[in-house]
Structures are given as C-alpha cells and as structure tokens.
Amino acid sequence: MGREIKFSLVYRDMWQSSGKYQPRVDQLVKIAPVIIDMGCFARVETNGGAFEQVNLLYGENPNKAVREWVKPFNKAGIQTHMLERALNGIRMYPVPADVRQLMAKVKKAQGVDIMRSFCGLNDHRNLELSVKYAKEAGMISQAALSITHSPIHTVEYYMGVVDKLVEYGADEICLKDMAGVGRPVTLGKLVKCIKDKYPHIAVQYHGHSGPGFSVASMLEVARAGADYIDVAMEPLSWGMVHPDIITIRAMLKDAGFTVPDINMDAYMEARRLNQSFMDDFLGEFINPRNKIMTSLLVGCGLPGGMMGSMMSDLKDMHAAINAAYRKHGHPEVTLDNLLVQLFQEVEHIWPMLGNPPLVTPFSQYVKNIALMNIFSLANGEPRFSRIDKDSWNMILGKTGKLPGTLAPEIIALAKEKNLEFYTGTPHDMVENQLDVYRKEMDENGWDYGQDDEELFELAMHDRQYRDYKSGIAKKRFEEDLAKLRAEKAAALAPVSKEKQMERTLAYISDKYPNATPVIAPVSGTLVWEADFTDKSVAPQPGTSYKKGDHIASIEAFYGLEDVVAPVDGTLVDTCIEQGTKVEKGEIIAWI
C-alpha cells in the first residue's frame, strides 16, 4: 500500500464560510458522536476564528461550547484544533501579548490539542509569540502560511517564512489556501521543499473550493508529501467551502495512497443533522451564492470565508451607490453588476496596497477600501478618498510588514494626512491589558471562570462579552432572526395578478418608456408561434415586427384568435408563458 494520508474535518470553517452563524452547543453535542462514528477523521477543526464571537452573539457562553464540543473528540482520540490570527488572536484587531498567552492556556485546558496560527501578512514576527505560547501551554503549534498567487508569493518567498517558523519551534506547517487561488503545481513544489528540508515537520493543506483549483491542489500536495488534508461534508461542502471527504478520499485512493474507510451510515446521519441545523434557523443566514463556485475569484483572490459578510456589505451599499449614480446621471447597477465591479476593483488595488494575502482581517480591509472606492468614483471623487482606521494601520505597517510595495499615490496620501509608517515589531505597540479586565470583573462581581476562561473571554471580546452578560445579545439575535424570517415570508407570499402587472408596468415604463403594450383581443389560452406542447418557447426580445404582423394566437372556445403587432417596432419583453390563461384586455407583450 502507498503512503498514508489523514483527513481533518474543518467543521467550524464549513459554517463560517457558508453563513453568519454556526451551530450552537446543543447542536454540536448532537453531531459530535456521529462525526466520530464516520471513522475517517484524524482531526476536527472545532473552534477559533469567529466561533467564540458567534456564541456571544447568540447570547450564550462560548467557553461552555468549546468544552462540551471538544470533549467527545478528546475521548475518542481524535485531535481537535483551533484557528487563531497571531497578532489579532481570535478577533479582528491586535491583541495584547498577555491575552494571547492566556488564550493558549485556556484553550489547552478546555481540551484543544492544536493551535493553528496564521498571520495574514505572513510576517513571521507576528507568529513568533503564537508558537511560543502554544508550546508553553502544551499544545501542538501549527504555523500557517497564508497562500495567495502573485509574482511576489513564490516558493522561495514562502520557504523564507517557513525557515523562521521552524526556528521558532513550530511543530507543523499548514498551507492555508483560504481563497483556493494557490496553483496546484506551485503548491506541490512548496510542500516538497518543506518536506525535503524539514522531513520531521508535518504538513497540512487547507484549500477552499471557490475558484475550482482545490481538488487538483489536494492531489498535488499529497503526491509532494503532505500528511493531512482538510475536507468538508454535505450539505456544506463545495461552493465557497471545501471539497467533500467522499470525493477526495476516492481520488487519493485511486492515486495509490492509504486512506481510511468512511462509515456511510454515519456520513448520511451527519449530513441529515447538518441539514436539520440549517432548517432550524442557520439556513436563514446562508447566502445562496455561497453554494456556487465561480472562476471570478481567480483574479481577485477573495476568500470563501468572507463571502457571507461581503454580500451583506454589498446589499447595504447597493442603494447608496445607485443613488450616487442617479445623482450624476449614470445608469444604476444590479447587485450582480456591483459584485463584479467589486471583484475588479479588488484586483486593481491589491498590488497598490502591497499585495497583502487576502485572509481575515486583511481581506476585509482590502474589500472595504475597494467598496468605498466604488462609492467614491460613483460620486465623482478619486480612489482612496475613504480609508478606515484599521485599513490605514495595515498600510502603515502597524499590523506587520506588507509583502509587496505600496503604490506611490498611497505613500503620498499618507504623507498628506501626516501619517507615519511603522517598521518595528507590531506586538510592541500593544500594551498588556489583563489587569484592566481583572479590575472590571472585580467591580462587576463576575467570576474569572474555570482556568480564567471568563477573564480571557472579556479580554478578547470585551464588547460582545458585556452584551452577553447583560442579555442584550440574546435579545438582539432573536429580533434579527424574527425580522429575517418575516422578510423571507413576505418575499415568498403569493403576488396577485394585479400586483404583478403593476410591477411589470413600472419595470417596462422605466426601462422602455416608449414601448407599446400588446393586448389580448379575447380570453383564452396563449399560443406563441411554437409547438403548443413546448411551454418555454416564445418570441425572443429583439424580434422586429411591422404593424399587423402575427405575433401569437389565443385559443378561445370557438377557435384561434390572432394577436397582431399594434405598431411597427421591436419586441422588448413578453409577459405571459406559453399555455397560460389570459383575459381579454390583458397585456401579453411589449413592442
């Protein structure tokens, strides 16, 4: 048999990549034994990233969630791992060193085996403390490379980072291909270089499916010596998430690798449970686009994990951008058009901003700048007119060294605003804060919790923790869910024929102000110029007619009645499908 490949289920990321929320502790405890029964996973990604914030947003205790969720995996001998963002810990902005150190101690005490640490800029200085604190706490330190594709991000570039991570004492290396834009052959070369130079270092590959490279990438990294492959499972695999365990296992088995069997009864039960969580309420927050792969991501390099929040931001800005277009005499854009504009703008400004790998939080910063650029340009203002504070911190080097070179206009804009560039080690700028939070907990009479886990939670997510303790978070979540369900119910409610016609009239009068309606001369069944049994065929928009030309027929009780063009012109829209009952005087098309 061939070399063994082990699989890791990225359960946390499956949900984070798909929607705003993740399963709650009662749901996690229900599915854990089923995942174990599948028998094919050596590891499960259980927490980190936004996992704890999500629990706080529910109004529930994230420490209870982590402890109860990892317990069955610990008992079964399946390793659990978390994701953390080095300088930013498990939030979106820098975390003091004492809080980062406490995080490792708390997570190890809660039963988490592996700390996967990444810096979105691949600045090894940000990862040094992550490696140190993980090992001090007795965790496996897995240092991650944020994978992207550019002339800068070569195998040699990444090996320079790997050398420093190994020097710091990292036990494993992860290729975190968060946008799935890593090219398969290059990824294979990188893995081979790592394994040739450091054969004792385990390598794990984490690749999202969005742009479509991931299956080929998994085969290449396996052939090059990777030890672990991250996978997902239905109904949350593929799309913007990860390939499914079934496909990847079959592919690697055919390639000659030794892979574990899958208990398909357990797989189907886990699949059913995931679907039940979606049907319960989680599906309300999943954008349908997140289930669709798109090659548009190849150019912009945005990660699947942020698609939910990005679409929410686009919807929020859509009306404002269209208002700006109207004000300046430009045509409005659909949400789809705006999405493509955003992808193109990200691709345009990315090298101007120093090529930061597009992973949290830097993907959000670049996306925010791109979206504000679109808004500024719609208002007749120059690019980079609106840059938020966090994005400026990235530009100025306060969160780490950018891989590439800033465009001259960005440097000039910083000087114009009297902003100073920083070249020191980022964590040196962040003062320790635990004593401040101890004081707050003492004043409120709050318990520090087992292994200081409640103190850690306040220090890491202070605003969300206060909202959780006050009960505001639970109330806000329930209100948001009720509002969303009401909006969806209203959207699905049947629309009267009169209301449909009113909407059609408004659409036509706006888009084709000079169009003339084609009126049904009698009541009956509409028959377009096609086989009556074919319900889909109708004259195509753009068809030219002269006044009196035959367009369609209506089958009345006494035979067929002709529908003719009322004027010379071009068909711009049809309103009624083949075989539909129409009433005399009803509009069936526009010329």
Q: Of 142, 91, 86, which is closest to residue 112 (Cα–Cα)?
A: 142
The C-alpha atoms of residue 143 and residue 86 are separated, in whole angstroms, by 9
Residue length of the chain: 591
Give 168-188 pLDDT, tens digit per residue. Answer: 999 999 999 998 999 999 999
In this prediction, residue 199 has a pLDDT band, given cuts at 50, 70 and 90, of very high
Whether 312 has a pLDDT exceeding 80, the answer reads no
Q: Where are the alpha helices (DSSP H) in 137-208?
A: 155-168, 184-197
According to CATH, the topology of domain 497-590 is OB fold (Dihydrolipoamide Acetyltransferase, E2P) (2.40.50)
Sheet holding 550-556, edge to edge: 559-564, 550-556, 524-528, 581-582
Whether 490 has a pLDDT exceeding 70, the answer reads yes
Whether 579 has a pLDDT exceeding 90, the answer reads no
Give the pLDDT mean for 290-312: 77
Please provide the CATH number assigned to the domain covering 6-286.
3.20.20.70
Q: Give the residue with greater pLDDT, 493 vs 587.
A: 587
pLDDT at position 221: 98
Whether 533 has a pLDDT exceeding 60, the answer reads no
Give the pLDDT mean for 13-24: 87
In this prediction, residue 530 has a pLDDT band, given cuts at 50, 70 and 90, of low
Give 83-108 pLDDT, tens digit per residue. Answer: 999 999 999 889 999 999 999 999 99
DSSP H or E stretch at residue 298: helix 296-300
**What are all long-range contacts of 505-508, with beta carbons under 8 Å and residues at least 24 apart?**
505/587, 508/572, 508/573, 508/590
pLDDT at position 292: 86
Residue 553 in tokens? 């027929």
Give 391-444 pLDDT, tens digit per residue. Answer: 999 999 999 999 999 999 999 999 999 999 999 999 999 999 999 999 999 999
Q: What is the pTM of this model?
A: 0.80
Whether 557 has a pLDDT exceeding 70, the answer reads no
Give 134-168 pLDDT, tens digit per residue. Answer: 999 999 999 999 999 999 999 999 999 999 999 99
Whether 229 has a pLDDT exceeding 60, the answer reads yes
Average pLDDT, the chain: 91
pLDDT at position 142: 98
Please state, as a whole number, how many other Cβ atoms lie within 10 Å of the Cβ of residue 385: 13
What residue ranges of the chain are covered by domains with CATH 3.20.20.70? 6-286
C-beta separation of 582 from 576 below 8 A: yes
In this prediction, residue 562 has a pLDDT band, given cuts at 50, 70 and 90, of confident
Whether 347 has a pLDDT exceeding 80, the answer reads yes
| CA-only gyration radius of the chain, Å | 28
Q: Can you give 87-154 as a three-state secondary structure string?
A: HHCCCCCCCCHHHHHHHHHHHHHHCCCEEEEECCCCCHHHHHHHHHHHHHCCCEEEEEEECCCCCCCC
DSSP H or E stretch at residue 442: helix 434-444
Give the pLDDT mean for 543-549: 88
What residue ranges of the chain are covered by domains with CATH 2.40.50.100? 497-590
The C-alpha atoms of residue 336 and residue 334 are separated, in whole angstroms, by 5
C-alpha dihedral sign at 406, 412, 415, 416: negative
C-alpha dihedral sign at 249, 238, 24, 99: positive
pLDDT at position 399: 92
Whether 532 has a pLDDT exceeding 60, the answer reads no
Q: Percent of the chain having pLDDT more than 90?
A: 65
Whether 536 has a pLDDT exceeding 70, the answer reads no
Q: What is the DSSP code (8-state) at residue 260?
A: -
